[in-house]
Amino acid sequence: MSETKNTFTLDGQPVVFEAGQTIMNAALAAGHYIPHLCHHREFKPHGSCKVCTVRVNGWLSASCTTPASAGAKVESEAPDIQEARRRIVQMLFIEGNHFCPFCVKSGNCQLQAVAYHLGMEDTSLPHRFPSRAMDASHPDVVLDRDRCINCSLCVRASRDADGKDLFGLSGRGIDTHLVVNSSTGLLKDTNIDANDRAIQVCPTGALLVKRRGYEQPIGERRFDAQAIECEFESKY
């Protein structure tokens, strides 16, 4: 097969892809970072956060669900797209309750890291200050819905990697929320384990292992050491 047959351009740079690959996965595999929150290469794409939106031959679409196609012109870091991504992240911040200075995930949080990456300086929109139920019923794991961005990564990881199917999204519209798959709706009545993938893939501080926090001093946390784009660009 010739080079152009399985190549698209990402902001002008050629990216080689395999048949069936999405733009996101092809870009990541080639060491190019496209901001994302609900995507994780191990799991089936969901396409809901829209942070990964790119322009493909003039049309905006989520790169994590759009198949790569030969010769496509993909724009990712155009000013209007970066601006929109910033707005999406702002929306995720004002939708929940994120008190970063007190959060154990601070410095290791992808929402925060993507916000830094995009140069988000304020939230600009009116905060909603929702009142959401916290689930601290389990001895080892806590679910703080205040910090949940409805990305569904835990839903997919629990189902597809842990084989437990412990989570689901419920409600509609702004009332969308994570529910726990047990008769009481509480974590204590599940067989969740502190080592479950579901907890590890949570991009924010919504799903946490208890009694583990502030383990690295400020300055040595995951995204202190390396900005999120550098982490992704060096990983592949």
Binding residues (CB under 8 A) for another protein: these are 45, 47-51, 53, 60, 62, 65, 67, 84, 87-88, 91-92, 94-95, 125-129, 150, 165, 167-176, 179-183, 185
Considering the complex, state which of residue 138 and residue 156 has its C-beta at the smaller distance from ligand FES: 156
Q: Do the beta carbons of residue 96 and residue 143 sit within 8 Å?
A: no
Considering the complex, state which of residue 185 and residue 209 has its C-beta at the smaller distance from another protein: 185
CA distance linking residue 161 with residue 156, whole number of Å: 8
Question: Which residues contribute to the site for ligand SF4 (CB under 6 A)?
Answer: 98-100, 103, 105-106, 109, 111-112, 147-154, 178, 202-207
35-74 positions binding ligand FES, by CB under 6 A: 36-39, 47-52, 62, 64
CA distance linking residue 7 with residue 16, whole number of Å: 4
CA distance linking residue 214 with residue 114, whole number of Å: 20
Matching residue, tokens 């939708």: 95
Give min distance, CB of 83 to ligand SF4, in A: 20
Residue 39 binding target from ligand SF4, ligand FES, another protein, none, CB below 5 to 8 Å by type: ligand FES
SS3 assignment, position 14: strand
CA distance linking residue 66 with residue 235, whole number of Å: 22
Matching residue, tokens 């702002």: 90
Considering the complex, state which of residue 91 and residue 186 has its C-beta at the smaller distance from ligand FES: 91
Give min distance, CB of 9 to ligand SF4, in A: 32
Structure tokens given for 1: 């097969």
Residue 207 binding target from ligand SF4, another protein, ligand FES, none, CB below 5 to 8 Å by type: ligand SF4
Structure tokens given for 22: 């999405």
